[in-house]
Structure 1
Amino acid sequence: MVFSNETPLILVVDDEPFIRMQLRLSLEQEGYHVAEAQDGREALAAFEQLQPDIVLLDALMPEINGFECCTQLKMLPNGKNTPILMITGLDDRESVDSAFEVGAADYVTKPIHWAVLRQRVRRLIHESQIQQQLEASNRALQQLASIDSLTEIANRRRFDEYLKQEKQRIIRAQFATSRGNPILLSLILGDIDYFKFYNDTYGHKAGDYCLYQVAQAISSVVNRPMDLVARYGGEEFVVLLPETDAAGAAHIAEQICTQVRALEVPHLRYSQGYITISAGVATINACFEDGMNNLVAIADQALYRAKQKSRNCFCTKVK
């Protein structure tokens, strides 16, 4: 059965067919879509398949009671974000406390007061929708805060965060293995050659577009989800390559230099006649803290050698 994205879907879970029918009729009159499950196992399967907007869950059912079912529902994907309204014939303090402890958002008692049920369903769906919109907005803001607006790749802040996460992942990996195998991590630090002269000659607007072109050229080379391309600052770019050896990183650096040359962005104040990039490649055994803490500095040393050598090339350093 296919449900409209605009009309909330309610999953009704109750072992009594008459109660399910009453709930269905009442809720459909309010304009909701309704799906049914007659026990906890059916509820768990229906939840995963249908991803309802809210669950109306009977507390007293055979095999898996409502409290246990609620606990398991909350552990499913999107379970934490889906409100569960417990329907119970128990109104003692212990039962009410148990309902909230297992994750129920609210409860109503039997016999059901239909006006109260309708209002609570409407409120819970509304609150859930607001929460989802808020989380989506926060994700969008977080993404914006991580993107360099000029080049449309990750910014320095995102790079610093990702490098920190990678350090933590490597520490966990060290504890998880006892074989002592090296954990390789590579980084490429690139710098557009004679970019100040380019800006002085063509103006900052052209310079901004040049930065965008180079960023996109670098991104076109780096395809693995685990890799990160970021603007490090000014005309500098950085590529973080987890689980990559020196040969693999050198191959990526060579492709980056080739792709930037292929742009053929004119640069009359540079002997090459067009924009190029120099790059420094660092590869470390990330198990050693000294290398991790100095990864960018090691790549910067290799970049300096590339600039001293001839520019429009890359140099590597392994530690």
Structure 2
Amino acid sequence: MKATLERNQSLVLIVDDEAFSRKELRLALEQEGYQVAEAKNGTEAINVFHQLHPDLVLIDALMPHLDGFECCHKLLSLDSNKYIPVLMITALKDQQSIDHAFKAGAADYLIKHIYWPILRQQVRCSIEQSQLQQKLVADNQQLQRLVNVDALTQVANRRRFEEYLLVEWKRQGREQQPISLILCDVDYFKSYNDTYGHLLGDRCLYKIAQAILNVVKRPADLVTRYGGEEFAVILPHTNLEGAAYLAEKICFAVRALAIPHQNSQVSSHVTLSAGLATVIPQSGSNFEEIIAIADKALYQAKAAGRDRFLQNNLLERQSSRNN
């Protein structure tokens, strides 16, 4: 079988250990304009399924080694496959087999010998419903992305920042693990906008956001646009040393962009000031606590001359209070 197929029409995978049954279904489906792939057992079906990603599967329930029930379950076990309809075809008519099929994830249960005009409609409707469902999921994911992503910088927005910080604050509190927060502010950005215009100002913010993303790479970490020319980085399960290392790299990465800023009072290029805080959340505490601490460190970094980061460590204060 070829590794790839032209996908101008929907692709149906036929799984049956009987060659005659496969041939009969293939001819009927090809006459309706479907592309068809075949597998003669459950193991082969799984390989073909992951290789070709069919739009629908017709599978015989009774096959040696890996029967249709177990094969169906394995095919649909991944989230990416769960919307692909599987139609179970069998001579079994008992209630237990029917229940077993639907429990395995089958979209429908067809009794041999099949009346083609009915199967034709079932195949068509199943594929159309699956495609509609997948489009709905994709649209919802895109909508969720639009809700949570800052349109200009393409990093998470303030809404997502607050949602995620709340979740991670509670999680680290339960596990009694540190969470760190880095607040960043572009130095003299108002002056940059006044000098170069808002179009270049927007491009500048986008480049800075992408530079921060290139530094902060763990899946659990979140880079956000906090507001205006401010960015925030949430670092779950990260101690002060780890956060300080990233803050230094972020400041360096922005310098390395070498974006000209002739009216900056600290450099001939755009720079960043950052404040960071590390906290182990305590019972009854609020995530606004870490924001206030990081914001104070950011203020101190600006007061100290900008183009740098400073840190406040609440862990030391928590330890001294506990002692």
Task: Give the shorter-chain TM-score range.
Answer: 0.7 to 0.9
Superposed CA RMSD: 3.1
Identical pairs, percent: 53
Q: Say whether the 8 Å CA contact 1:48–1:76 is kept in structure 2.
A: no
**Does the C-alpha gap of structure 1 residues 218 and 101 become closer, same or farther in structure 2, counting only changes over 3 Å?**
closer
Superposed CA offset, 1:103-122 (max 9, x none): 22123322111122122112
Structure 2 residue aligned with 1:105, among 94, 104, 107?
Answer: 107
| 1:307 has 2:302 as partner | yes
1:241-252 equivalent positions in 2, closer than 5 A: 241-252=235-246
Structure 1: 5+ residue stretches without partners: 175-181
Contact in 2 for aligned 1:156/1:233 (Cα 8 Å):
yes
Deviation at 1:316, TM superposition (A): 0.6
Following TM superposition, by how much is the alpha carbon of 1:78 offset from its aligned partner in structure 2, in angstroms?
3.2
Aligned position for 2:276: 281
Alignment-derived partner of residue 179 in structure 1: none
**1:187 and 2:189 are equivalent in the alignment:** no
Tell me the equivalent position of 2:261. Answer: 266
**Matched ranges for 1:193-272 at <5 A:** 193-199=187-193, 204-262=198-256, 263-266=258-261, 268=263, 270=265, 272=267
Q: Kindly provide the amino acid, as one letter, of the partner of residue 129 in structure 2.
A: E
1:66-81 equivalences under 5 Å are 66-76=68-78, 78-81=80-83
Deviation at 1:206, TM superposition (A): 4.7
Q: Deviations over 1:254-312 (max 9, x none)?
A: 23333434534325374656543221011234687748662222211211221232222
Deviations 1:76-118, CA, capped at 9 Å, x for gaps: 4533121011212244666545433432212332211112212
* Contact 1:41 1:64 (8 Å CA) reproduced: yes
In the alignment, what sits opposite 1:130?
Answer: 132
The runs of 4+ residues in structure 1 deviating greater than 6 Å are none
Say whether residues 1:141 and 2:143 are aligned partners.
yes
Contact 2:266 2:305 survives alignment (8 Å):
no
Deviation of 1:205 (Å): 4.2
Alignment partner of 1:75: what SS? coil
Q: Structure 2 regions of 5+ residues with no counterpart? A: 316-323
2: CA distance between counterparts of 1:291 and 1:43?
52
Task: Kindly tell me the number of residue pairs found equivalent between the two proteins.
Answer: 311
Residues 23 and 278 of structure 1, relative CA distance in 2, 3 Å threshold = same
Please say if 1:316 is aligned against 2:318: no
Match of residue 28 from structure 1: 30
Question: 1:280, 1:306 within 8 Å by CA — same for their partners in 2?
Answer: yes
Shift of 1:22: 1.0
**2:129 match: secondary structure:** helix
CA shift, 1:63, in A, is 4.8
Change in Cα spacing, 1:215 to 1:267, as seen in structure 2 (3 Å) is farther
Paired residues of 1:284 and 1:292 also in contact (CA < 8 A): no
Alpha-carbon distance in structure 2 between the residues aligned to 1:271 and 1:37: 68
Q: Distance in 1 between matches of 2:47 and 2:68?
A: 15
The alignment partner of 2:54 has SS state of coil
- Structure 1 residues 199 and 72: CA distance shift in structure 2, 3 A: closer
TM-score, normalised with respect to structure 1: 0.82
Distance apart, 1:14 and its partner CA = 2.2
Equivalents in 2 of 1:45, 1:194: separation in Å? 58
After TM superposition, give the deviation of residue 188 of structure 1 in Å: 0.9
Q: Quick check: 1:210–1:265 contact (8 Å CA) kept in 2?
A: no
Q: Structure 1 stretch 66-75 or stretch 79-88: which is displaced more? A: 66-75
Q: Which amino acid aligns with 1:246?
A: L
Closer, same or farther: CA 168–126 of 1 in aligned 2, 3 Å: farther
